[in-house]
């Protein structure tokens, strides 16, 4: 530990600590913010494993494994009519559970085979469970609505 007391190591250590602090406080990139918002809405966590995949960031298409069945779900976020969406609250004892009812003029959700290639069924409305804190979920949905503008051809 003689090198730790050296006057040459002290400035280097200070620089490393400064750089680590700067990197950790740097604002998230826009793509990261969208991914974190999508993660939170669908899983209630900012960094879940596995995370929902943004298959097409331009069109805001998200694919994730169905938590109940052996299939995948494709969400078309830009087709959600967020202004008309309803937050529905149900109670399980004292705990409130929320879900979001969304509709669109075109298909908003598709269920895919496990290979994610074939669509088994698609719907113009969806009921999405919201496992996270409802206030944080609303903020995440606001960010998604800002980034995922409605389709141009709807």
Convert the pLDDT of each residue in 101-125 to its tens digit: 999 999 999 999 999 999 999 999 9
pLDDT at 128: 96
Highest mean pLDDT pick, 19-33, 82-96, 116-130:
116-130
Q: Report the alpha-carbon distance of residue 112 to residue 69 in Å, rounded.
A: 11
Checking DSSP bridges between strand 72-76 and strand 86-92, what pairing results, if any? unpaired
Q: Is residue 95 one of the residues assigned to a domain?
A: yes
**Of 98 and 150, which is predicted with more confidence?**
98
| Total number of domains in the chain | 1
Secondary structure tally for the chain: helices H, strands E: 3, 8
**Cβ neighbours, 10 Å, residue 49:** 6
Q: Is residue 2 one of the residues assigned to a domain?
A: no
Spell out the residues 6+ positions from residue 105 whose beta carbon is closer than 8 angstroms to its own.
79, 81, 124, 154
Q: Is residue 102 one of the residues assigned to a domain?
A: yes
20 has pLDDT over 80: no
Q: Is residue 100 one of the residues assigned to a domain?
A: yes
Q: Is residue 23 one of the residues assigned to a domain?
A: no
pLDDT at 88: 96
Which pTM does this prediction carry?
0.77
Q: Is residue 17 one of the residues assigned to a domain?
A: no
Taking the alpha carbons at both ends of the chain, their separation in whole angstroms is 68
Q: Is residue 122 one of the residues assigned to a domain?
A: yes
DSSP 71: S
Query: Per DSSP, which regions of 23-124 are E strands?
Result: 53-56, 61-65, 72-76, 86-92, 95-103, 109-112, 119-123
- Domain interval for residue 59: 30-147
12 has pLDDT over 60: no
Q: Report the alpha-carbon distance of residue 83 to residue 86 in Å, rounded.
A: 9
Specify burial of residue 116 (Cβ count, 10 A radius: 0-12, 13-18, 19+). middle
């Amino acid at each position: 530990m003689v090198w730790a007391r050296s006057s040459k190591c002290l400035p280097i250590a200070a620089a490393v600590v400064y750089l680590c602090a700067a990197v950790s406080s740097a604002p998230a990139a826009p793509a990261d913010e969208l991914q974190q918002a999508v993660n939170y809405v669908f899983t209630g966590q900012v960094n879940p494993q596995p995370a929902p995949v943004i298959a097409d960031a331009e069109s805001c298409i998200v694919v994730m494994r169905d938590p109940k069945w052996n299939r995948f779900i494709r969400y078309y976020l830009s087709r959600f009519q967020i202004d008309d969406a309803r937050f529905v609250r149900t109670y399980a004892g004292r705990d409130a559970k929320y879900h979001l009812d969304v509709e669109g003029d075109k298909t908003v959700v598709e269920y895919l085979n496990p290979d994610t290639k074939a669509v088994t069924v698609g719907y113009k409305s969806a009921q999405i469970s919201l496992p996270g804190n409802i206030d944080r979920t609303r903020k995440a949905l606001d960010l998604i609505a800002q980034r995922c503008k409605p389709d141009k051809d709807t």
